[in-house]
Amino acid sequence: MVVKQSVNELAIFSGKPLFDDFKSTSSLYQPELSKFLQYSKTFFDSRHYTNNGPNVRLLEQRLAEFHEVKHCIAFSSGFWAIALTMKELALPNKTEILMPSFTYRRMADITAWVGLKPRFCEVSADTLAVTYSTAKDCINDQTALILGVHPIVNCCDVEGLQRLGSEQGIPVLFDSVESMYETIAEGKIGSFGDAECFSMHASKLLNGCEGGYVTTNNDQLATALRLKRSYGFLGQDNCVVSGGLNAKLTELHATMALANLDELPQLVAANKKRYELYRTLLPSVTGIRLLQFDEKFQTSYKTIVAEFTDDWPFSRDETVVMLNAEKILARSYYSPALHQKKMLYPACEAELPLTDYLCKRFALLPCGDFIRDEDIRQLIELLQFLRENAEQIKSMNLAGDNHGKK
């Protein structure tokens, strides 16, 4: 099958999109309905809908076992898991959280919510993540917390950041949303630093519709977080500790997450098949490089990230526009970088030339439960077509004002 006969058939020039329905980059995995219903019965029959119900407790226990860690505390979202943990861990009377700029879009917003300022540091070109030395350059007398964020493919320098934290006497938090399933040389992700945070949003590996959780070996931190997520009520007398709010996970969300947790191995096996097909086919497109998972360790193969190198005839942004028009929801990978955004709240100025360079080069390609092998084959053919016809496409004023017009 030929995906396009001529350049005029490209959707960007008003041709029919390659796909009828959108091809997403989200996981969106669904468990067996029977399994979901089976777990539902527990809370439904006991009419225990929220406030530390049976399924939330079971989920926390299962996740603590999964991550080989002492405590797991569930939250209504990854956002609140991260925000409340930041607040607990940040050193008093210090103002900055050290974090990468080339990272999750909302990270600076979460920091602002906590009343602290992001101090953006560089990443390594090899891992696209923070390392001991990139973080060390940004430590100062205002550093309240080091936030290591795992990149989408493979992990950040866990050992290095832990070492930096203990050398400097600064707590270390990991955003491990993208590395829920991973292991590293030192063991399973979930037990490192002072705590690690995860999301169970529907687009993530473990789909709880919404939700998040924190893992830690620190008893005091676990107790404090359990209090804070539930208004800070201390027992029956309703004496309230400060900073509490309602960030509890409901039984319904825990039920979805439990059903999906049972099926993680199947989900990962399907991810791996998709990844392997990309790895086989993508080398036929000169100028696009697949980021490879480190298979020495356990990995989820969840997200497909590609680099558009200097050999590719279009910019990453031009490519994403063309793919989006074909109903391929490719997304630029962490772009713009956080330090490049105009913020309405305090942030520290930063000059990060490597981040400026990297954030123009990567995009996520379709993956997750809705993507079939045939979709991947067609996408690769389309990319080949774009490459072969680059001259003509560019001459038709790709960036000009004829979008959507013939």
Ligand X SMILES: *Cc1c(COP(=O)(O)O)cnc(C)c1O
**Min dist. Cβ of residue 198 to ligand X (A):** 8
Q: Dihedral of the CA atoms 270, 275, 279, 281 (nearest 10)? A: 70
Nearer to ligand X, 149 or 252 (CB): 149
Distance CA(136)–CA(148), nearest Å, equals 12
List 216's β-bridge partners, or say none. 71
CB of 90 to ligand X, least distance (A): 17
Contact 282, 295 (CB under 8 A): no
State the minimum distance, in angstroms, from the CB of residue 339 to ligand X: 17
User: Which is nearer to ligand X, 12 or 173 (by Cβ)?
Assistant: 173
Give the pairing type, strands 362-365 and 195-199: unpaired
Q: Is 113 exposed, middle or buried (0-12, 13-18, 19+ CB in 10 A)?
A: middle
H/E stretch holding 99 reads: strand 96-100
Nearer to ligand X, 177 or 383 (CB): 177
Tokens 């709010």 -> residue = 245
Separation in Å, CA 125 to CA 39, 122, 131, 243: 44, 9, 10, 39
Question: Closest approach of Cβ 193 to ligand X, in Å?
Answer: 15
Residue 180 vs 277, nearer CB to ligand X: 180
17 preceded by cis ω (within 30°)?
Answer: no
**Smallest distance from ligand X to CB 104, Å:** 4
Give the pair of three-digit tokens for residue 77: 């979202």
Quick check: 287 and 318 in contact, CB under 8 A?
A: no
Please identify the residue of the shown chain whose CB is closest to the bound ligand X.
78
9 vs 369, which CB is nearer to ligand X? 369
Torsions phi, psi of 71, nearest 5? -125, 145
Smaller CB separation from ligand X, 31 or 78: 78
Query: In whole angstroms, how far apart are CA 401 and each of 94, 315, 318, 398, 405?
Result: 49, 18, 14, 8, 9
- 169's CB contacts (< 8 A; 6+ apart) are none
Question: Do 203 and 27 contact (CB within 8 A), yes or no?
Answer: yes
Of 39 and 104, nearer to ligand X (C-beta) is 104
Q: Residue 4 in contact with residue 316, Cβ under 8 Å?
A: no
Nearer to ligand X, 119 or 204 (CB): 204
- Least distance between ligand X and beta carbon 77 (Å): 4
SS3 assignment, position 74: strand
Question: Nearest approach, Cβ of 176 to ligand X (angstroms)?
Answer: 8
DSSP 8-state code for residue 358? H
* Residue placing its CB nearer to ligand X in the complex, 12 or 158: 158
The strand pair at 362-365 and 288-290 is best described as unpaired
| Bridge pairing between strands 362-365 and 304-308 | antiparallel
Binding-site ranges for ligand X (CB under 6 A): 77-79, 104, 149, 175, 177-178, 199, 201, 212
Contact 301/179 with Cβ under 8 angstroms?
no
Rank residues 39 and 198 by Cβ distance to ligand X and give the closer one. Answer: 198
Tell the smallest beta-carbon distance from residue 122 to ligand X (Å): 18
Shortest distance (Å) from residue 399 CB to ligand X: 30
Instruction: Provide the minimum distance between the beta carbon of 100 and ligand X in the complex, in angstroms, as a whole number.
Output: 11
